[in-house]
Amino acid sequence: LTVLSPTELEAALRAIGAERYHNRHPFHRMLHSGGCTPDQVRAWALNRYYYQAQIPAKDSALMARLPTAELRRIWRQRIVDHDGDQANEGGIARWLRLTDALGLDRDYVISGEGLLPATRFAVDAYVNFVSTRPLTEAVASSLTEMFSADIIRDRVSGMLKHYDFVDSKALAYFESRLSDAPRDADFALAYVQEHALTEKEQEAALDALRFKCGILWTLLDACSYAYVSPGEPAPGAWRPGEHLVSSQR
């Protein structure tokens, strides 16, 4: 018998995080420890904005496939968290406070014009995955949230300590995620434990989490290649110093 118990399945999911979650990426270590230039923090925030902005698309695609009002009500909270109830509320709006604080032109950030191509491909792959794979895999791909509390705590304290161009208001996004992410992860983990019952389903759920770790890792690979010395942004992508509001130029 190679079917895992719920506890064993959780342990196998956590082992994937320990190997593949993006807290292990050199760029993240650099970001948290104060090793990034302002332009490198800008590049990261600009590219990561596209991920944030597409999360409600991802969650809407998943919600479209949930079979009951009860499940949809629970999943809907994720969309409320990111989109807010009115303008200037919610996770996307809070992320824009960070790019504002970094001096990036807000319209340019929202336009997506300056994204690295790999950012767009990776994020779109996530939305496609959730739209087309079996529901248990789609839910499992969200389980990077099991690992996010530690990285966010490191990020907030590291960024406040090391970068004088970042203050706690600019990091409001992360404060909200500290409470939202564990709540979301608990539900998703229980769902996967309840629905991935065969060896094949469990392996597919583990693969879904590996896939998702690859998304987050790719965003940092792309920022590293493009913006860490010597730095070679793809043609058309944002270049350091560009699209800053006048006070930051």
Nearer to a second copy, 14 or 120 (CB): 120
**Range 21-80, binding a second copy (CB under 8 A):** 24-26
Structural tokens at position 66: 């949930």
Pick one of 13, 20, 48, 102: the residue that binds a second copy (CB under 8 A).
20
Query: Residue 83 CB: number of other CB atoms within 10 A?
Result: 18
Pick one of 234, 239, 244, 248: the residue that binds a second copy (CB under 8 A).
234
Pick one of 135, 210, 239, 242: the residue that binds a second copy (CB under 8 A).
210
Q: Which bin fits 241, alpha (ψ -120 to 50), beta or left (φ > 0)?
A: left
Pick one of 29, 121, 169, 245: the residue that binds a second copy (CB under 8 A).
121
In whole angstroms, how close is the CB of 136 to a second copy at the nearest point? 21
Instruction: Single out the segment in contact with a second copy by CB under 8 A; choices: 87-95, 140-148, 185-193, 215-223.
Output: 215-223
Instruction: Single out the segment in contact with a second copy by CB under 8 A; choices: 35-43, 58-66, 160-168, 206-214.
Output: 206-214
Interaction site with a second copy (CB under 8 A): 19-20, 24-26, 116-118, 120-122, 124-125, 128, 210-211, 213-215, 217-218, 221-222, 224-226, 232, 234-236
